[in-house]
Every structure is written in C-alpha cells, then in structure tokens.
Structure 1
Amino acid sequence: MHLVTVATCSLNQWALDFTGNYERIMKSITIAKSRGATLRVGPELEIPGYGCLDHFLEGDTILHSWEILAKILQNEDARDIVCDIGMPMTHKNSNYNCRVIIHNGKIAMIRPKMWMANDGNYRELRYFTPWHKHRHTEPHSLPSIIRKITGQTVVPFGDAVVATEDTVIGVELCEELFTPASPHIQMGLDGVEIFTNSSASHHELRKLNKRVELIKEATAKNGGIYLYANQQGCDGDRLYYDGACMIALNGRIVAQGSQFSLSDVEVVTATLDLQAVRAARTQSSRRMQAAQSEPYERVWVDTRLDGGMGIRVGEEESKAKSIEFKYNTPEEEIALGPACWLWDYLRRSRQAGYFVPLSGGIDSCATSVIVYSMSRLVVQAAQRGEEQVIADARRMTGEPDDSTYVPSDPREFTNRIFHSCYMGTEHSSVETRKRAKDLAEAIGCYHVDLNMDTVVSAMKALFTMTTNKAPRFESQGGTARESLALQNIQARLRMVLAYMFAQLLPWVRGKTGGLLVLGSANVDESLRGYYTKYDCSAADVNPIGGISKTDLKKFIAYAQTEFDLPILGSFLDAIPTAELIPMGQDNVAQSDEVEMGMTYEELSVYGRLRKVEKCGPYGMFGKLVIDWGSFLSPVEIATKVKHFFFTHAINRHKMTTLTPSVHLEEYSPDDNRFDLRPFLYNSRFEHQFNRIDQLAEVLPNRATQPGNDKAKQD
C-alpha cells in the first residue's frame, strides 16, 4: 500500500470579506493538518469570495487578494502541507481566475482557469480571460510583497501539473469538469493520479446528482483520486452555494460533506491508496492511449504526500470504502437551502430578524415555515456547540456581551427573530385570518392582526375628492379598470404597512434594530406576472421566489409531518385566493388559477419550455401538441400557448423589480441576472401566433380518438 491523506473543504466565504475569508481558509488548513492531510484544496476564488462580480475588474480586489495570500504564505500553520488556493490575478494585463499551489512558504505554480462558466447565473467572461495555451506555461512576475516572503521572482503560470516525489497532482476548475473534453482525461493519461477541483457551484433543485455523476465518471474509466471543494452559503447575492464537498477514488465516492450547513468551515478527509489508482490503470487499451498522450510540463515540489513514509505494507485503507451518496429530496432541499441562505443573509446584514405579511395563503405560509426551518437549524447547530452560530444568535436577539444564551427551542428562537402580520380588509375571510394566527402560534413567531379598511377608504376618498369620481368593483357596477385599481391599492398599501411594522415592531417589544421584510411570490406567479407591482412582493428578500407552486405544496406536505405542524394541512386544502374583491352572489371566492386562465402545473410546464428548452411560441406549441395532444385538441393547445405568451409579455416589466430571491429553479424569470430578455414586447406576436393557428388547423385532433380522455388534463 502507498497511503496518502488528502483533504477538501466547503467554506462559507463572503464577497470582499478578506479578513473573514482568510480566517476560514486558515481554519480549514489547520483542521486538514490535524487529521494528517498533506494536500488541501479549497473552493474557487476563495480569497476574495466567488461572488465579487464587477469588483473583479477593480485593481483593489486583486491587490487585497495578494495581501491575503502573503499572510497565508507566512503563517506557520500553512507549512508542511500542499495547499491549492483560489484567487484572481493579472497576467500580462489580463485578469485570470487562478489556483495557486503553495508549499512551505513558496509558490510552486499558478494554474489559470481554461473554460469559463458564462451562462445562466454566471458571467465569468465579463471579468476573466480563459487560458487557451494548453500544456504551456509562461513565467509570471510576482509582486514585491510576495517576493520578500518567498524569495522568488517568477513562477510558472499556465497549464501544468505538480509532481511530488511519490505522485502527480492536476488541477481542474469547476466548469472544466462539465465540458465535453475535460482536462482530467488527458492529465490522467499523462500520469496525474490526484485531481483537485475547486468550485463555486450553486444549489438548484434536483441538480446535485449531475455533479456527483460527473465526479464519479472523471475517475471511473481512467482511475485516480478526485478532490472536489465547493463554496457554501450566501456570499452576498441570489445564489446559495451548497457545499457537498467530496472525495472519489476510481469512480467511487468515498467521502462526502454536507450539502446544507450553517458551519462556516467543513473539512472532509480520506486516507487512500495510490496503489489502487495504479492498479486501475493496467488495462491494455488505457496504456496504449497513455503512451500516445502529449506530456504536461511538471512543476516539482520537494515533498511526499505519504508524509515521507514511503510504501507502507500491512496497513488498512482508512475511509476508502464506497459510500452511498446522501441525496436530499426536493422537499428537503426547499426546507434546508433557502433556510441556510436566510440565516447567512440575516446575520451578515446585522439585522434583528425577519417580518412577513402573513395572508393565510400557501405562499406566505411556505415563507414562514422556511424561517422556522432556519430556526431549527440554528438550534441544532447551537446544540452541537458551533460558536459562530451561537455568537450570531446572541447578537441578533439583543443579548448582552456576557450572555450565556444558547438557542435550545426553535419556537422560542423564532419568537425572538420572526414577526408576522395579518393585514385584513372587508374582503378577507375568517378562515384566512384564523389560518394565519394558528400558523404563527404553531411556529412561535410574534404575530399581530389588523384591519386596514380605514387606510384603503382614505385612499379612495382622496381619489374621489380630487377627481369627483368614485371607482367601484365590477360586481358593484364598475369597469374592469376600476376593479383592478381597487385591488391594487389594497396590495400596495400592505407593502407600505409591512415596512412600517418591520421598522417599529422591535421598538414596540423593547428591542433594538430593525427587521428585513420577506416577500412571498413564487416563481410561477412571477413568470405569469400574476401579482401587483410594488405590493407585498416588493420586499428585501424572497426565500420562495425561485420555487414553483407545485414544489411549494409538496414542501408544505413534507413539513406538516417532518416539523410536526398539523395546521399546514388546512393551507393545502385551501383554494389559492388574493381576497381583494367582494364575494360574488354565488359566494365563490376569488380564485388565482381562474383569474390567471391557467393552472400552476401548466405554468411550470410553460416556464421550463420557455427557458430550459428555449422555445418561442411556435416551438412551445409544437412540443405541447405532442405532450398534451392525447387530451387537448391542437386548437385548445394553441389557445393556451398564446394566452401564456400574451400575459407573460404584458407583465414582463414586473420582472425588472423582482425582489432578490435565492435561485432554486432552472426556469427562473429573474430579470437581468438569470433571464436576459426585453421587458417591452409586442404582446400580440402577430407572426408567431398566425403560424400557430395555421398549424393548429391542419393537425389531427388526437383528443377525440377512442381511448383518450380529456379529463386526463386534470
């Protein structure tokens, strides 16, 4: 056996928090060394934080990154271990996203990223230049602050590998794993036995399995040890980086970190046998390909990863057995991901808690339950003795410096940091008011209840006094325009009241600080534009803005049992309604799906086809004729598609003011960030809709064929 102990980690880095990022990097190195590791790899751009965005274009960001690297090089705790550390730097006046390999106070080499993430949530080409000189290095002149420490003037910069006395290490950065011709293939053929991958990969529902399969595949055919490091937490923007660092050996996962955690530093180590890698590479076909592969330049580091003990015989492999990778269900991901993101946002904004307008509907219910899930995680972390979590909890709850308070009950902690308000009007029902009150009691949040009819009446009276016109609802003889205006003023006044209560409720309770207002518009409502601009959707942050209504219902059903909240059953049974208009003569409540002209399940389908499968109106119609043709006629499908695109287009402007929300769904319509589209459309789509109508007229109606049941649509 030839045993080496290696370490990878998940760090909760924060954009531009150079001091905090340094401390977390050093803590991870210290933990890795304490476990006997001789190689440590950290997340992508870990020194400044991955989410600096346009700050990467500032010389200050690169200067401060060098200053932090200098501190790491000088720190005795960073000696006697090979460290793979991420930072931006300038080479020949171009910015690069780099990994810096250091050992015993010196820089061995700098490896720039070659393939950039430049779609979806990522704009790396905006800040960085890809390194296209494959298998080639150039001398990089070090800044004076580094020269004084290392005694080096230049170091290799480019696409090379690191050779120690007993093995060879190759670097692969995040997106490079996802490319068709990943670097690990050719590096492995040239003798690289250990691969490091430093990532800043965000959480998205149902996404982790793709990452895991690619990591397993990276060494399944070629053999090798693969160390995957990832950022964790909210680093200042809409993404939640979900950690899940891991170690693979010959296509098997042998060690896994947590996907969702409140810990700032998590280190995963494993002791593995290099002989197992070499044995996996004995196949004849692989040897033939290896003999023909082009060589990489090797940068030598005078050390052994086995700790200088050479080949050891008779020792057992430690932690090298395959493990069954732990995947969370989508319901668990909703319970954990947004909750962790909310915790980071709350503690780093240094506010006293959250406030939500609690309507008695399922969306604000889901938002509230996610906050309660956050409290559960805080209590669990505090009970494990995590000092940073305890310190943050004491500060935000206003505890004195000498306090011994430790969160021990989720309801008690929720009562300290979470506030809700039911803002009723004459159109509100007894049922929604009671559901809101019961939910608040169940999770422990501080709840207030009010009627805002006097405020609404004052606004209507002001309008009438100014114009001599009194708007009425349609059911009272008014026009659709009057009715819409009367609904919207109720919704917008709730936003104004929400901010007033968020600023003053802590004062009412004798506490200091203010509250962050939470929005509760789901991703489908945003896609459809089914909400009032600048109503309660206009908040500070929105934990459910990237989640579909369908998934939210599944989450509430999960939480009903998992969190022991029987009250949630009444939210699942309730018809989604805005309660902004008088009850009709038939006593039927206002229904969201009826008003939208489509179901939430249909909206999820439209959203996925529009964004993920990149369909315009005509392309979407063609796909839905195949998928829905057994229970809907082509003309019916055409009507649905045209209605969606029309309503989406006329409401597209609302996306420009969306409350920042944690990204969770791959068809998110988050404007100018994830979804780059115009916000003023020709909503009639004359040419596109005409082509749909022409095709719908000639296609056969499969829905009328024997054996097909139109009720299947339900």
Structure 2
Amino acid sequence: MRDGYIRIAAAAPAVEVADCSGNAQRIMEFIKKSDSEGVKLLVLPELCITGYTCGDLFNQKTLLDAAENALAEIIRYSAGFDTLTLVGLPVRYGDRLYNCAAAVHKGRLLGVVPKSHIPNNNEFYEARHFASGKGVSGTVSIAGFEVPFGGDLIFECEEVPTFRVGAEICEDMWVPTPPSGRLAQAGAVIIANLSASTYVTGKDNYRTALVTSQSGRCISGYVFSSCGEGESSTDLVFSGHLMIAENGKILSQSRREKDYITADVDTAMLCAERQKSTAFISDSDVLETRRIKFSCNIEHYAPLRRPINKHPFVPSSGERYRERCSEVFDIQCAGLAKRLKFTHATSAVVAVSGGLDSTLTLLVTARAIKKYSLKCKLIAITMPGPGTTGRTKGNAVALCESLGAELREIPIGDAVKLHLSDIGHRGELDTAFENVQARERTQIAMSIANMEGGLVIGTGDMSEMALGFTTYNGDHMSMYGVNAGVPKTLVRHLIKYVADENAENKKLHDTLYDILNTPVSPELLPAKDGEIAQKTEQIVGPYELHDFFLYYFLRYGFEPLKILRLAIQAFDGDYTEEEIKNLLKMFIKRFFMSQYKRSCIPDGPKVGSVALSPRGDWRMPSDACVNEWLKQLN
C-alpha cells in the first residue's frame, strides 16, 4: 500500500443454489486466499451467499434466515484477516426485501448497501422479490450488528486516506446515471460492483466497455465481479466475468476460465488526477454520504500486480500501433499546414542532419505540403561541420532525394572558424565550440527562410526540451516546432511507421531504417576516423529511461521515490537500481535547470497527454528550487 497502491481481488466462487452454509465456506476460502496475497479489497458476486437464481425461494423465511446465519459465520471468520470483503445477499429491512452488498472486515459488519435499480425485463424479474434501495438511508439490524444501511455509504481506510470504497450492484452500472458517478464525486476512489450478468453472445464486450468507460468517467478504480459456475442453468448461463479497471484501462480480467483475479490500483494517482479535474469540483448536487472508517495494515507490494509499460509514450502493437502513429503524424501535419497557410509561406525550410529529429520534421513537412495541397516548396539544407560524418550526410541527401525536397548544401566550417576567431576563442572543444555550430546553422536556415518567403520548421523534440539538451537560440529556436509534443522514444516509432508504410519506395525505406540504426548525436565534436564521436545517450543516459521519468513526473505528478520504484520494476534486468537512481537524479536536476529554455520555445502542436508548452500544459518558474525533489533520492 506504499505509494497509494491497493491490491484488489474479484472472485466468483462456485455456488450451490440455496446452500447458504456451503456457499459461505467457499467465500471464506477466498477471504483466506486474498489475505495471504496482501489483498485489501475482495469483491464477490451479487447474492453469492444464496445464489442469484433462487427465484421465489427468496420469499422463504428459511432461505433468508440461512443467508443471515451464513453472513454471521463469514463475519466471525473474517476476524483473523485484513481484507475488506464485499459479499452479496438478500437483506430484510422494514417490511421489504433488498438485494444487498455487505461490507465485512476483521470480525465486523461495517455497513450494508442496497441495489438501487431493479431490472424487470427480458430474463430479469427482480422486482418480483426485491425493492429498490434508491433514496433509502438508515440502519439495519442483521447478523448481530446494527449498521448503516443505504446507497450513501463510503468505506474509508484510516491508514491510507485515498483508499475509499463505494458499492453498486449489477444493474446500477447499466442505467444512464449510475450511482457510482455520485459516489465518486462524493469521494469514493474505488467502486465495487457485485453482479449477476448473464452469458449471451456479444454481451461481454459491451460489459467491458461499460466498466472501462465508467472507471474513466469517475476517475476511479472499478471492480466488477459476476457470478458464474453453479448458478441454475434452467434458462440462463452466467458470465463469471471478473474485471478490475483503473481510469479507463483494464488492469486485469477473466471470462469464466478463472474464478479469481487481482490487480494493484493506484489510488494516489486517481486522487491526483481528480485534483486536476474540474469534474470533481464540489457543487450543490454532490451526494451527502456517510463515511465508515476501517483500519488495515500497510504493506509494500513488490513487484506490483499491474502492467508497467517501459515506453509509456509508445502505442501498443498491431492495428492500434498503426492507428496511433497515423494519428500523431496527422496532428503534426495539420498544425504545420495551418501555420504555413496563415503566414502565406511560399517555402518551408528544414535543416537536415541525417538524425532522427530532422528526419521526422522533413517527413511531416513533406506530407503536410502534399496532403493539404500547399503552394509551398520544401527546402532542405544540410550544413556539414567539424563533427559531420559521411553516414549522416549521406542519409540526409538520400532522404531529400526520396521526398523530392530541394536540397542545398552549405558547409559551415569556415564560418565557425571565423566566428571563433572573432570572439577570441582559443580552439578548445568546449561548450562555445559546440554551440556556435548550432547557432550558425539556425542563422543560415532563418536567413534562407527570409529570402524564400518561408518558415523554418523546428526539429527539436520534447525529450530534449525536458532535459535542456538543446542549444539556446540554436536548434532551440524555429518558426514552428512540429516535434514539440513528441518524445524521443516516439520519434523512433513514427519514423519506423513511415518506413513500413512506404516499403515500395525502397530508397526511402532503406534510408529511414539506416537513420534509425544510427546513434543519436548532435555531431558537434570532430569525428574520429569518420565515425560519430559524440553520442547523446553516453552523455545524458538512455532516452527510454528519461521518457519514462518524464511521463510519470508530468502526467501524474508522481514523487521521485515512486517513479524510482516503478522504473526498477519496469526495467528489471536492463539497468541496475543504482543506474536508474542516478539517471533519475540527473533528469530532475536538468528538468528544473532547463525551464528557462522551455519558457520561450516556439509554437508547436500537442499530440498526447503530456506536453511542455509554457502557454498550455506546463507553467513553471525558471528559477524553482529542486532540493525537495532530490531529498527523497539522497
């Protein structure tokens, strides 16, 4: 439970219809199993103590007494365990019968939540037996406890304030305004749904979509547990569908083949997301709830039971991969086309080096001109200097030829020497030596753009801006930065996507793949034996790690230790813990020190959920102190 992670389980015990005592035994086995795995919330199916398919037996006092006795047995058994368990059973309240979820923890009954929406159509006829719990609020006496009763209950952990649970039952999720929405606005961070959903063709996909969507709309964890094996098959088969979702994503699920799943839900992240969302600003319509406290042990889950993507900016494989790459490419092209049209530009100027970033910029610019039928010529300038190698220059030339760009070669060696001489530089291979080349290239590109009535299209990417690995007023500057929202790990995949989509153009395809296989370098130091002497990832470290840090630092505002623990698990076997820790320190230091560069970056399109524009997503003082962030790692 460190860092706000809560281990959750959904289970579908095999039931015997109307065998309350036997069903209780199977439920207790799952409580024991869950506790042994550090599970803090176990969600069981609707009416799992009796079975959902009891029909008119629900009108029998014998069954209702047996269900209450079974609940009492489960409560007594739970005394030795730390798991909050939500179990389904019929409950008598006043003169009516309700379909309920009972919250059991450490030998106590905490409260009972009745189902609000009672289905009474097609295969369902619950209104024959159960009343709606909508608007009902009071206390109920059951199994030797007098506890709160109603749909306004939120169960809150004293040790982990972000661990707050609300419950709804089956049909409640399927209505236009589910109770979970109001529970979430009132503070519930995890929604439990005890269900008895039927198994019919096509329904499982719709169910998954509902759970995914509701967890996203509520910015919550959502646990769905539906009954399966053992329910009567007189007319129906039940799904046994189990799902655990978090903010629009399925963390774990099973359809009948398994009766138990677990996942670690990040409640701290969910609360941080809500803090930024205007949807969770209090208003007069927020549900008034009763908070019921419970206490549980703090545990550290290692490893976490949840997917941790090494490359969070990179789309998943298959059709989704192609779709996402195409989408990002289209956003870049649309933004650039608008700027070129608005400024009546007659040319688009790109400084090409044969590296990743300028390659993507040239690809985007060429496509934007073609797609939007712009009356604008594409001018590519290659400006070899002291560090330029034959490989990168050759790739730059081949790329321009493949795209039909007008290529101009302007060597900068003499201009650099003259400038260094003018300022009294003594020839050391220092920062001034490196940066004068970047600024000379920018100056040339800007001047040619002026001559040709065009714009300089920037090449710098978001990862470089995060680290400040860019020359101020050199490659840092342009007239429109198409890669402003694209991190380095995604740059690679966008180029690969274009290469694969153009396999019939062998020259373009092969050139792009050679560029992908070339070490990342600014080429600002003299080459050694014709090979690249300056490799970026030997200086600042692997971009895949920096992009990982960037994503969790910006997207969720995670603290350094939490990012470190996630990175150690995600990159297990790739880097040592010490390497990851040192690189995270470097990332944080460089990120804070480089804000002054980001405060004046050119316009450029946002393409994903993380962006660094000082006019939009990221507003930070240029002289903020980094000490509080480094303290954790030191």
TM-score by length of 1: 0.41
**Larger radius of gyration between Structure 1 and Structure 2:** 2
TM-score by length of 2: 0.46
